[in-house]
Every structure is written in structure tokens, then in C-alpha cells.
Structure 1
Amino acid sequence: MVAADDAVIYVISDLHIGGDEQLEEAESLEELLGFLKRLATTDENAELIINGDAFGLWEITSVEGPEKFDYLLRRYPELFEQLRATGENIQITLVPGNHDHELAAYDEYIERFAKYNVTLVQDESITRSVGTRSVHFEHGHQQDPNNRIEDWGNPYATPLGYFYNTHVTSQAGQLSERGRYNWLKDVQAVTPTERMPVWLLSKYFYREMNPLLRYALVPFLLLFNISAVLAVVTGLQLADIWSFPVMWTVAFLDQFGRVGTALWFVLAVNVAVAGLLVLVGIPLYFIRRDVRITIQRFGIFETALTVDTETPYEEAAREVFADRPETAIFCYGHTHRPSVREIDEGLLVNTGTWLKRLHRRDGIIGILPPVFYPSYQLSAVRIAAESNGVAVEYETIEKPNPIRDELTLTERLVTLGREPNPELPDRAVVEDET
């Protein structure tokens, strides 16, 4: 462990390196190697902590147990050689997460990682001193009921998340190349899991659907909102209550001749369908509302996959701060959301992920499926002592966002002006008590 007086700790997590077939591609491997090369020449009294999910062992289904180390070594030899080189200059500590919980289950991993200058700690959490304070590190999955390992270190521990990743995620890696575009491998970037059906619908519509069928549906979907309004006013006209909107629309479109006639025909079809959907939707709305109220009354509204990404970690941090007042920072990963929040007298820090992130954006008009914008927020959290306390800052590792390569022109047009602009948290300091 590095000395407390001038300690500098770099923290990364959720690299998710490894998996079946298409999941083998570590998209940020080049950037990771560059980061490790920089640490190999630093003159700081530094330690690198890889805080869980360095490897996607759950997604490797072709081999079992410690044989997965051989798989990783064969697939990513340059990574292990760079770990060896960097580990000659600074201490590297590896903490298991849920995806690589097997690292805590076999002692053989300790010896094998040690050959590459990586210290594998098989505990659920670790503590490091920085200045006069300390920092608590854990991956974070123990606060997630779907991924909590009840019997830590048991190689046969299988929480709900294990089955999801060994069956759904790994299967996606095996099938991804069969699509029109190789997009299914990004399943790991879909968080929370509840978004999976919507993401699949989005990718099917914009990527897999027959182009002729998609472009035939686009006018209807774009005009649905307008058509729904026209369906209502058409009903008012038929009831001799208000005929002006329909008459004005007909007169306006007549000015454009055949083009106006064609547009009126499209609108008429849309109005008929939209009117039918509105009529059906009214009773369905009340039925759905009553079902939700009934489920809430029985206290089972939360689904098995629903995860609160904030509250459990805030509560865990408060417990640590209360039990160990010298603790300034509770540092975790798991949720893939880089953030810094003040909790009581300390900081709750999430290190984010080196995977791609997907940001949902709804269309500007109509009822087209939402678009999921891809981005990279690669970063390393730097924790160091200062004269007045402990500072936390995110160091950005540059990697271009693949928007133009992975989003169609249609996706970009229907979300024009709604592009995400994710930013990493600002620098924060936990001041010492005076």
C-alpha cells in the first residue's frame, strides 16, 4: 500500500473485458493501454485500483473456473504485458465485481495475477489512507439485490444478474454478427435492464426492419400526433359541433393540386387509424391505471429487475461514514454512471464505465421509437491529499463518440436538437475538520 502522506490513488472500474464471440472486442482497449503506459512512467507515489468488473467472466461461457484466465491471456496478451510493465512502477490492486466475482472464488487467480504485478484482493471492499483521512472502495453490486453475492467467494453463487448475463448477454455476443449491422453486442451498455425491450424495438425499427416497410411507416408515425387531433375534430364535425378545422384543412390543401390531394389521402388514412387507436386507447388507459393501483395495493409494483441506482449507495455510504468517521469518500462503480454527491460529511463517488454508454432520446414529433445515442465517457478518478482535505477529480481519456457510424440519418433527423452532451463531474474536495 502506498504511504498515506503523499498518496495518489487512481480508480477505474467496469472495463468488462472479455465475453463470447462479439463480446471479445474490447472497444476501449487502446485507450486503456495508453492510460496504463502513462502510469508506467509517473513519478507520483501512486496506486491504481481497478474497482470491480475488470473482466466479463460471466459472459465467457466456453470455459470454466481458472481456465478463464488462460482465455484472457490468449485474447489480450498486450494488456497483461502492459499491466506487468505498469506494475513495476506503481501498485495495481484488483477488486472483484459481480461480473468477475469468480476472482474471489479461486485462490489460483491470486498467484496468476501476481505474475503480472497485479495484487488481487478477494474481499468485498478495501480501505486506503489518503492524508489524514481514508477512502472506502467497493464495486457496488452488494448494494444491488439482483447482483448481490450472498455467499461471497462461492464459485457457484448465482444471483439473478448471473443468469441474465450468462444467457442473455453472452447469447447476444454470439448472435450479434447475424444482424444487418453488428449492434446486438452493445447489450452490455443498456442500463437499467428495464430499457432492454425499448432498445431492441428501437434497433429493430432503425436497423433491422425492411427499409421499404420502415419508410412506408415513417409518414404515418410522424403524422400520428396531428392525425389524433384531426380525428377528434372530425368527430366534432360529424356531430355538427365544430366543422371549421376540417373545412380549413381541406381548403388549404386544395391550393396544392395533386400534391395536396395526395397529402389529404395520407392524412385521411392516418386520421382513420389514429381515431381507432384513440377510441381503443381510452378504455385501455383506465384498465391499465386500475391494474397499477391494484398491484401497488398489494405492494408488488417493483419488478424483479427494477434497481434504485442511488438510494442504496447513499445509505451504504452513510453507514460507512458513521462507523468510521475518518472516511472521507465512498467510491464505487457498477451502475456505469459517473457522479459525485455530497453525503453527510463525505463524498459518494461513482467511477463510471469504460464501456459505451447509451442515452435515450425521444423524437421531436410523432410516435417513432426513441433513439439511443452512443457515447464514451472514459475516465480515471484521481484521489489525492491536499492541505485542506482530500480532492477528487476525473481525468478524461479521450475517445471519439461513434454517433455518425452507429446512428442512421433517420435517427439523427428525428432527434435533431436533442443530442446528449454528457459531462464528467467537476472536481470536489472533502475538507478536513478544523
Structure 2
Amino acid sequence: MDTDSDDRVYYVISDLHIGGDEQLEHVEFLEELLAFLERLETTDENAELIVNGDAFGLWEFTTVEGVEKFDVLERTYPELFEQLRATGENVPITLLPGNHDHELAAYDEYADRFAEYNVELIQEKWISREVGQQAIHFEHGHQHDANNRIEDWGNPHATPLGYYYNTLVTSRAGQLSDRGRYNWLKDVQAVTPTERMPVWLLSKYFYREMNPMLRYSMVPFLLLFNVSVVLAVLAGLDLAGIWSAPVDQTEAFLGQFGRAGTAAWFFLALNVAIGGLLLLIGVPLYFIRRDIRKTVDRFGVFETELTVDPQEPYEEAAREIFSEQPATTIYCYGHTHRPGVREIEGGLLVNTGTWLKRLHRRSGVIGILPPVFYPSYQLPVVRIAAEPEGVAVEYERMAKPSPATEELTRTERFFTVGREPETDLPDRRVVEPERTVQIAEASD
């Protein structure tokens, strides 16, 4: 083991997704990123910064090709590149390609251009670093995602399924975002998994783009939909002469309040009529939908790799690495945008999360209102260092105000009161040295 590794501290970030067409070029965390780099510029630690993939959104550029994209980045973010140069004079900065910036592995000129700013671009799938008597495996993680795996590594024309999604959907969203009532479509990058895209679009249309008068007039009916369906069933039982007590009791109760009671009765009757109509339509539609789903299932459409497990492939990859390389006890990746630490056989599986905005789905507890996608920032920095008790993995959150107040409508904030997401990062974890010894002995 290199003696320098005994006190080497590794700072790891990933999934910044800097750059893209039009509205995607705006980096909402640029101030916080510069502050973090400025701190490393003056640190006395024996540190290395590892940017573990998807630092840049090269897939999201559709008007320039190849290394020209570096020129655009350089012009758009001069302050960032100058800070990289200054920070790189004090600590090594290592950059790994992800799927969104796989082109970094395809053109050797990228390595030369980044070197001018004291950034070492490693054009490989993964790297390893020693820490104390252990080792860390770093890779972005997209090679274990069937939708984004690069089969021909380093081929500038590699186009997995995720490439088409980002060039046709994400970049287009960046071009159209400023045409809406609010500039929200650019947040398409934060929608994960992508299967939630239709629901997110419905939610943003309802809460952001729909005419406010129309939305506010619909809210009471949508909120009372569940109640209306029950009342519709009771009204049907009353008309059929089977059970009239609930309707009679409700009418008598509301009758005590005069005109207010009459208005409430009329409103409930209107909801019942609408609920009954939707119920009548919904029953046959339900059976038709179920039959269609069974037919589709027979063809195996929902059993393809379009939906990727965000956890299992990485656990399997980590187990394989730990088994083949007994000194390696930490598997560090990004890609899924979900910061987390899990202990598996042989070590720790560490996800570095994302600096993009995160959207937390909050479904309505009543009615049939669209879910709310509650925004937050985590801006995680993972610190890995050797300590007397072993190798410690710690998360630090760069402070940034919540965007909820500005980005959620009053209606969305009302329906999420008390249901705000927990955005805490994982607790500190330690890989004890005894673990490495036990694994080494087991492999002998």
C-alpha cells in the first residue's frame, strides 16, 4: 500500500449535469459548488476530489458536436473553470465519465483541455484508490443500467436508449421551458425514475399551467370524489328502495341549516351526479383496462428492461468486486441520484446522489387530485478517510434554501402541509479493519 494513502482524504461528488440546450444551461447550485471548490483550494488536508460521472450534460447539447461542447462549457461557465484551475493547484481533481458525458471517454482532446484547468480526466469505466489498508472502487454506475450501458466504451457514436430520451425529451424540454406560465419544464432532469414522467407532466399542468379559475373550480369536486362515489352508491340503493336511511338522515340533518343546508345538499347532489356518472363509465373501463393489461403482459412488454431496479444491479456488482479484490471494501457510485449507504457482504455500497433538484412525490390522501412533486436540494459531498477505527464514510450537505416556497403553488403547499419530505443524508459509517483481514483470510 502507498503510504500516502494512510492519510489521504477523498471527497466525492457526482451527477451535476452541468450544461445543455437553452434553459438547461442554468446551474441552480453554481454558487454552492464554487464555495465547495474554494474550500478545497485552501484545505491543508492531503485530499483528492473525485467527480464520479455526469459532471456535464453533454447528451443535452443538440446543436454542437464533439469537443465543440467543451468550448460551449468554457464560454458559459468561465468562473467554474477558473475555480477548477485554482482548486486543482492545491488538491488533485479526478474526473470520470458518466453516461450523460460519455463523450469525455471518446475524444482524447477532452483530456488535454481539462488538463489546462488542472483536472485529470480518466477515460476508463472505473478507478481504484487506496485508503489506509483498504481500497475504494469508483465508477459512475450506468454500466449496470441496461438503458444507459455503453456497450462499445469510447465510441463517440454510442447511443443507448437513455441517449434518445435525453436528446429528444430532456434537451427539447430545455428549449421549450420558458414558454410555460412558469419556467418548470427544465426540471425534467430531476424526474426519476423516468417512468414518472407522465404523472409529473399531469401534475405540473394541473398546478401550474391550467387556468387558475378552472383549477380552483375543480378542486372541490376532485377532493370530494371519494365521498361522491359512496354517496352515489347510497343514492342508487335509495332509488331502488333497498336502503333509504342514509339519504333520509342526511337530508334531514342539512335541512336544519336553512338555505345553507339547501346549498350544501345541492352541492352534494351535483357531486353525486358527477361521481355516479364517472362510476358508471369507470366500471366498464376498468374491465377493459384489465383485459388490455393481461394481453400486453402475455407479450412480455412490462417484463423488459425498460424499468431498471435502482439497487439490485449495484449490490451484485459490489459483491463481485469485493470477492475478486479482497482489499476493496467500498463500492462508490452515482447515476441513480439516490444518496445512500448499504452494508453488504464484504463492505459498503455508497451512492453519492446528485446536485440536481430532487422531486419527492406526495400523493393526495383524499380525492383524485394529481400528486404533488415536492422539490428539495441535498447537494451531497461524500468524504472517505482512514481513521483509527477503520475507514469512515461521511456525508456533508452543502447548504441551499428550499425551493418549495417559490416553486409550489398555494394549492400544492396546502396539500403537502405536514408531509414535507425528509431530506437528511445517511449517517456516518465505518468499515473496520478487521473486516478486511477476515475477507483476505477467507480468500486464501
What's the TM-score, normalizing by structure 1? 0.97
* Number of the residue aligned with 2:396: 395
Give the aligned partner of residue 19 of structure 2: 18
Which residue number corresponds to residue 162 of structure 2? Answer: 161
Q: How far did 1:297 drift?
A: 4.5
Quick check: 1:273 aligned with 2:270?
no
Q: Hey, what does 1:90 align to over in structure 2?
A: 91
The equivalent residue for 1:245 is 246
Aligned-partner Cα distance in 1 for 2:303–2:198 = 17
Residue 149 of structure 1 corresponds to which residue in structure 2?
A: 150
Cα shift at 1:294: 4.3
Aligned partner of residue 93 in structure 2, secondary structure? strand
What is the identity, as a one-letter code, of the residue corresponding to 1:418?
Answer: R
Aligned to 2:115: 114
Assess if the C-alpha contact under 8 Å between 1:193 and 1:305 holds in 2: no
Residue 304 of structure 1 and its aligned partner are, at CA, apart by 5.2
Is structure 2 residue 346 aligned with structure 1 residue 336? no
Q: Distance in 2 between matches of 1:162 and 1:261?
A: 59
**Runs of 4+ more than 6 Å apart:** none
Most deviating of 340-349 and 265-274: 265-274
Whole-angstrom CA distance in 1 between matches of 2:75 and 2:63:
14
1:382-421 map, 5 Å: 382-421=383-422
Q: Return the alpha-carbon distance in structure 2 between the equivalents of residues 196 and 383 of structure 1.
A: 35
**TM-superposed deviation, 1:60:** 1.2
- Work out whether 1:345 is the aligned partner of 2:346: yes
Distance 1:251 1:101 in 2: 70
Deviation at 1:262, TM superposition (A): 2.2
Q: C-alpha separation between the residues in 1 aligned to 2:316 and 2:279?
A: 44
1:74 maps onto 2:65 in alignment: no
Q: Distance in 2 between matches of 1:251 and 1:348?
A: 63
Q: CA deviation at 1:2?
A: 9.0
The residue type paired with residue 344 of structure 2 is: I
Query: Which amino acid is the alignment partner of residue 244 of structure 2?
Result: S
The equivalent residue for 2:124 is 123
Local SS of the residue matching 2:301: coil
8 Å CA contact 1:362–1:415 kept in 2: the answer is no
Deviates more, 1:381-390 or 1:296-305: 296-305
Aligned-partner SS, 1:3: helix
Q: Structure 1 residues 2, 199: closer, same or farther in 2, change over 3 A?
A: farther
- Return the offset for 1:388: 3.0
The AA in structure 2 aligned to 1:371 is V
Letter in 1 for 2:301: I
Shift in Å at residue 311 of structure 1?
A: 0.7
- Aligned-residue RMSD, C-alpha: 1.4
The 5 A counterparts of 1:229-378 are 229-302=230-303, 305-378=306-379
1:136 aligned residue? 137
Q: Which whole-Å CA distance do the structure 1 matches of 2:298 and 2:186 have between them?
A: 39
Instruction: Give, in whole Å, the separation in 2 of the partners of 1:164 and 1:341.
Output: 30
How many angstroms does 1:303 deviate by? 5.2
Supply the AA of the counterpart residue of 2:293.
R
CA distance in 2, matches of 1:197, 1:187: 11
Alpha-carbon distance in 2 for matches of 1:273, 1:153: 58
Query: Distance between the aligned counterparts of 1:330 and 1:339, measured in 2?
Result: 12
Structure 2 gaps, min length 5: 438-444
> Could you list the per-position Cα deviations for residues 72-105 of structure 1 after superposition, in whole angstroms to 9, with x for gaps in the alignment?
0100000000000000000000000000000000
1:328 partner SS:
strand
Q: What is the identity percentage for the equivalent residue pairs of Structure 1 and Structure 2?
A: 75
TM-score, with structure 2 as normaliser: 0.95
SS where residue 36 of structure 2 aligns?
Answer: helix
Provide the C-alpha distance between the structure 2 equivalents of 1:348 and 1:369, rounded to a whole number of angstroms.
35
Instruction: Name the SS for the 1:205 alignment partner.
Output: helix
**AA of the residue aligned to 2:309:** D
CA contact (8 A) 1:364 1:415 kept: no
2:52 alignment counterpart: 51
1:104 lines up with 2:98 in the alignment:
no
Q: Distance in 2 between matches of 1:259 and 1:418?
A: 33
Shifted more, 78-87 versus 269-278: the winner is: 269-278
SS at structure 2 position matched to 1:301: helix
**Distance in 2 of aligned mates of 1:73 and 1:216:** 49
The answer to whether the Cα contact below 8 Å between 1:102 and 1:155 also exists between their aligned partners in 2 is yes
Alpha-carbon distance in 2 for matches of 1:198, 1:263: 33
Q: For 1:143 and 1:265, how far apart are their aligned partners in 2?
A: 58
- Indicate the SS of the match to 1:381: strand
What is the identity, as a one-letter code, of the residue corresponding to 1:252? Answer: F
Q: Any conservation in 1 of the 2:105–2:124 contact (CA below 8 Å)?
A: yes
Of 299-308 and 105-114, deviating more is 299-308
Instruction: Give the equivalent residue in structure 2 for 1:216.
Output: 217
Aligned residues: 434
Moved more, 41-50 or 297-306: 297-306
Matches within 5 A, 1:162-177: 162-177=163-178
